[in-house]
Amino acid sequence: MNNDNAACTTRADCEALDLADSLAPARERFLLPDGVVYLDGNSLGPLPAATVARLDSAVRKEWGGGLIRSWNDAEWVTLPQRIGGTIATMLGARIDEIVAADSTSVNIFKLLAGALVLASRQDKPRHVILSERSNFPTDLYIAQGVSAALGGSYPLRLVADDIEAAFDEHVAVALITHVDYRTGRMHDMKRLNAAAKKAGIRIIWDLSHSAGAVPVALNDCDAELAVGCGYKYLNGGPGAPAFLYVAHALQHDFPTPLSGWFGHAAPFDFSAEYVPAPGITRLQCGTPPMLAMIALESGLATFAGLSMSDLRRKSLALSDLFWSLMDASCEEFGFVCVSPHEHASRASQLAFAHDDAHAIMQAIIARGVIGDFRQPNLLRFGFTPLYLRHTDVWDAVNVIRDVMQSGAWKEDRYLQRNIVT
Amino acid sequence: MNNDNAACTTRADCEALDLADSLAPARERFLLPDGVVYLDGNSLGPLPAATVARLDSAVRKEWGGGLIRSWNDAEWVTLPQRIGGTIATMLGARIDEIVAADSTSVNIFKLLAGALVLASRQDKPRHVILSERSNFPTDLYIAQGVSAALGGSYPLRLVADDIEAAFDEHVAVALITHVDYRTGRMHDMKRLNAAAKKAGIRIIWDLSHSAGAVPVALNDCDAELAVGCGYKYLNGGPGAPAFLYVAHALQHDFPTPLSGWFGHAAPFDFSAEYVPAPGITRLQCGTPPMLAMIALESGLATFAGLSMSDLRRKSLALSDLFWSLMDASCEEFGFVCVSPHEHASRASQLAFAHDDAHAIMQAIIARGVIGDFRQPNLLRFGFTPLYLRHTDVWDAVNVIRDVMQSGAWKEDRYLQRNIVT
């Protein structure tokens, strides 16, 4: 790699970069365990320091003291919309175009089923769901389930690459993940949206590995529909609520097959007839999980006052540094980086292929460098500029080299396979 | 009301009952605010004392310290099944017939869509969804949404009363709430299941106001499908995860339209093809909300070591006492109890009709007696034997009488309408 970090050949060089880093103080916003370099914020964001007290207060005062009254008095009832507004600001959307709700999987179902209903109402109905074989599995599973639920008449077509080439007059909806969960490859959202519009196709963007990781400009890119995850870069806690985006133009008539009472225009009228709320609120379903919502709100606050372009710059600098150090000091061990070189098409993570990826990852995790393994042979590392230092990157590569040089990864305990999320 | 409490005519009588109450120590399992009589545990269960420390530990140690490793090391990944097992034990089901997941609304969708797919595969396909007009609105909304999602071919038929009389050869699924959310009227589950079986109909039971409130024997009653709520009598916290039940006999082929990755047979293989997990696990969808799950697990522990028959006895005693005291001291104010007299058909709550119900409820809430208002004219009171005392009931009725005698409920601030959940 040729980049600004090429000159970073000692740990002292990294220390100098940390000292000059205007984002360095943001690390104090997190409680990170000693002795850990956490390169898995792309899978589960770490604990924000403020979340401990915020949740404790929510539990004791709002739930314990306020009891049922807190739905009004602590404004629980509008929290999903307020969280949505904060996320919208991060993603270049209007504040009433995003709401926090349910899981990413459930939200994909909502948007996909809704978009298919819209497509079936067209003069020339379309039925095909298009996606990439490399998409995150739950996206594909949900698409398969939608087909089954709607009677099997919505075939799922998967392409290996160049999804744009598969845009044709049969495709109703393209379900596209903006950033590949394995390689970090990033699509050009604006270009694909334009091509899809021309082809009469709606794209549902999955922003799970984008939100909080890279600049996203939903309105500017003419995005219509999107979902995303709260527990990765947004630091909302394990299994945090997800979010979904429906552009203004589509909100009014958007069908809501998961028509629960929190999406009703007047839920506390308790009428027997479902009447969807006028805006993004209709995309809510059941009673929102308040403790999880409050943790997500607190997670979003870790971004307060920071610019996404600064974060992006540091994220790329950390990734480039990691890659260049791996090239310099681990070349002999057979790692092959499968992430894109070009900044324009790479998000905030890197993946290295290696035949012994699983065992190597277990061995480095045991030494406090936490990335994760992804099938079939990938070591995956996320670079989250809010709390990672250049020295962390240096130390992580050093641990990897030590594990490889010593052959420590060959121990039995690392060769065993366990569930890893 | 003629019952054991008829002799309870002074506060001292109530104190004597509390002293003799073997369940009285269970109150220590909760953190209840001073000066409050909480008669709304049927809407949001209060904070269990153990939940404060349990959640704090989950946040600091499991999330903060363990980070992504806690999915394995803290056994997050199997918590929804373990919680399901605990709920199953309470509800007379096998431990692998219930799993905690999503919201009640989402779970109704899963079971309803799945049951309709099964019904459409029969030699003589059936399409009608049957329910009661008085059912909790989200049940009806979801049924309307399912119809829309599946192409409008699943009409929802609503009856005013005697749902059994509407069992006919067109009905595929009956969506029945065991305990009416307004009146507390309880259906005979065993009898309706037998009648439904005879008529070739599947019943989906909504146990939201039953679980933790009344004895339920799912297996003994030949129940096939059920959902329920975690944030009411189960004390799981605001918007806690819900649960669902699928009897062994149905699990193997049960269709899962919400086919997310946590319902996959091998989610961490990341294969592109959806293969449902063999048992109840297939009814999960996305990544479960772990903090909310942990709070629910802690809520369930408030029942540890207590027998549901003891709880039921006290719940009825408290309800009877409230009713008899209302009769004795508030007769002149025009309250009409709309809950069933007979214990066999009444759960753990009472509802009183009154033209000024909303304002009266606001006035008594302001005095620390927390029930809730339900449309169109009901004051609703839940009687949760884990933490309510006979003296609480006495004090609550006294407050109601004071509010009525003084006319305090006529103040402007009580006459205004706000959202009340």
What digits encode the pLDDT tens for the residues A342-355? 999 999 999 999 99
Is residue A159 pLDDT above 80, yes or no? yes
What is the nearest CA distance from B199 to chain A, expressed in angstroms?
Answer: 25
What is the nearest CA distance from A50 to chain B, expressed in angstroms?
Answer: 11
- Name B374's bridge partners: B378
Are A290 and B238 in contact (CB < 8 Å)? yes
pLDDT for B232 equals: 98
Buried b (16+ CB within 10 A) or exposed e, B302-321: bbeebebeebbbbbbbbbbb
- Cα separation of B100 and B83, whole Å? 6
Among A28-37, A312-321, B263-272, which is the least confidently predicted range? B263-272
- Which two structure tokens, joined as six digits, stand for A335? 């790692």
Are B52 and A60 in contact (CB < 8 Å)? yes
- Phi, psi (rounded to 5 degrees) for B224: -100, -45
Are B295 and A295 in contact (CB < 8 Å)? no
Count CB pairs under 8 A between chains A and B. 308
* Whether the Cβ atoms of residue B343 and residue B319 lie closer than 8 Å to each other: no
pLDDT tier at A147, thresholds 50, 70, 90:
confident
Is residue B180 pLDDT above 60, yes or no? yes
* In chain A, % of residues over pLDDT 70: 96
pLDDT tier at B152, thresholds 50, 70, 90:
low
Residues of chain A with C-beta less than 8 angstroms from the C-beta of B158: 272
Are A272 and B372 in contact (CB < 8 Å)? no
- Cα separation of A197 and B124, whole Å? 43
A372-374: strand order across its sheet? A336-337, A349-353, A378-382, A372-374
Average pLDDT, stretch B61-80? 97
DSSP labels for A145-190? Answer: HHHHHTTS-S-EEEESS-GGGG--TTEEEEEEESB-TTT-BB--HH
**Is the pLDDT higher at A4 or at A394?**
A394
C-beta neighbour count of A406 within 10 angstroms: 10
Residues 6+ apart with CB under 8 A from B95: B84, B85, B88, B89
Residues of chain A with C-beta less than 8 angstroms from the C-beta of B375: 268-270
* In chain B, % of residues over pLDDT 70: 96
Among B135-149, B176-190, B222-236, which is the least confidently predicted range? B135-149
Residues 6+ apart with CB under 8 A from B320: B1, B3, B4, B5
Average pLDDT, stretch B324-345? 96
In a 13 Å sphere around the CA of B27, the CA atoms on its Cβ side amount to 17
Q: Which residue do the tokens 């269990």 mark?
A: B48
Is the link from the previous residue into A376 a cis peptide, with omega within 30 of 0? yes
What is the nearest CA distance from A129 to chain B, expressed in angstroms?
Answer: 14
What sign does the dihedral A100-A78-A281-A147 (CA atoms) show? positive
B378-382: strand order across its sheet? B336-337, B349-353, B378-382, B372-374
Residues 6+ apart with CB under 8 A from A305: none
- Cα separation of A18 and A22, whole Å? 8
pLDDT tier at B1, thresholds 50, 70, 90:
very low
Residues of chain B with C-beta less than 8 angstroms from the C-beta of A285: 103, 105-106
* Whether the Cβ atoms of residue A210 and residue A230 lie closer than 8 Å to each other: no
- Cα separation of A62 and A70, whole Å? 6
- Cα separation of B150 and A124, whole Å? 19
User: Which tens digit of pLDDT belongs to each residue from A55-114?
Assistant: 999 999 999 999 999 999 999 999 999 999 999 999 999 999 999 999 999 999 999 999
Are B261 and A137 in contact (CB < 8 Å)? yes
- Cα separation of A297 and A304, whole Å? 11
Are A259 and B141 in contact (CB < 8 Å)? yes
Is residue B5 pLDDT above 70, yes or no? no
Is residue B389 pLDDT above 60, yes or no? yes
pLDDT for A7 equals: 67
pLDDT tier at B8, thresholds 50, 70, 90:
confident
Average pLDDT, stretch B299-319? 97
pLDDT for A416 equals: 79
- Which two structure tokens, joined as six digits, stand for B2? 């003629």
Residues of chain A with C-beta less than 8 angstroms from the C-beta of B295: 59, 291
Q: Using alpha carbons, list the distances in angstroms from residue A333 to A2, A6, A354, A355, A417.
A: 21, 21, 9, 11, 22
| A56, A60, A286: residue with CB nearest B106 | A286
* Whether the Cβ atoms of residue A98 and residue A85 lie closer than 8 Å to each other: yes
Q: What is the CA radius of gyration of chain B?
A: 22
What is the nearest CA distance from B406 to chain A, expressed in angstroms?
Answer: 24
- Name A382's bridge partners: A349
Supply the pTM of this predicted model. 0.97
- Cα separation of A353 and A377, whole Å? 5
User: Which tens digit of pLDDT belongs to each residue from B246-269?
Assistant: 999 999 999 988 999 999 999 999
Average pLDDT, stretch A177-182? 97
pLDDT for A119 equals: 92
Task: Please name the helix (run of DSSP H) or strand (run of DSSP E) that holds residue A139, with its range, or none.
Answer: helix A137-149
B128: closest CA among B98, B96, B163, B76?
A: B163
Residues of chain B with C-beta less than 8 angstroms from the C-beta of A138: 260-261, 286
| B55, B264, B292: residue with CB nearest A141 | B264
Average pLDDT, stretch B236-245? 98
| B102, B268, B370: residue with CB nearest A106 | B102
B242: closest CA among B98, B49, B396?
A: B98
Looking at every residue in chain A, the average pLDDT score rounds to 95
pLDDT for B150 equals: 67
A416 burial (CB, 10 Å; 0-12 / 13-18 / 19+) is exposed
Average pLDDT, stretch B327-356? 96
User: Which tens digit of pLDDT belongs to each residue from B392-403?
Assistant: 999 999 999 999
- Cα separation of A233 and A212, whole Å? 5
Q: Could you give the angle at the alpha carbon of A326 between the alpha carbons of A320 and A327, nearest 5°?
A: 90
What's CA B167's distance to the chain center, in Å? 25
Residues of chain B with C-beta less than 8 angstroms from the C-beta of A135: 272
* Whether the Cβ atoms of residue B350 and residue B37 lie closer than 8 Å to each other: no
pLDDT for B418 equals: 58
pLDDT tier at B421, thresholds 50, 70, 90:
very low
Determine whether B141 is an active site residue.
no
Average pLDDT, stretch B130-156? 88
B381: closest CA among B396, B367, B394?
A: B396
Q: For residue B186, what is the DSSP state?
A: B
Is residue A2 pLDDT above 90, yes or no? no
Torsion region of A184: left, alpha or beta (phi above 0 gives left; psi -120 to 50 gives alpha): left
* In chain A, % of residues over pLDDT 90: 90
Is residue B382 pLDDT above 70, yes or no? yes
pLDDT for A153 equals: 81
Is residue B300 pLDDT above 50, yes or no? yes
What is the nearest CA distance from B2 to chain A, expressed in angstroms?
Answer: 32
Is residue A418 pLDDT above 70, yes or no? no
Is residue A142 pLDDT above 50, yes or no? yes
Residues 6+ apart with CB under 8 A from B32: A64, B38, B46, B387
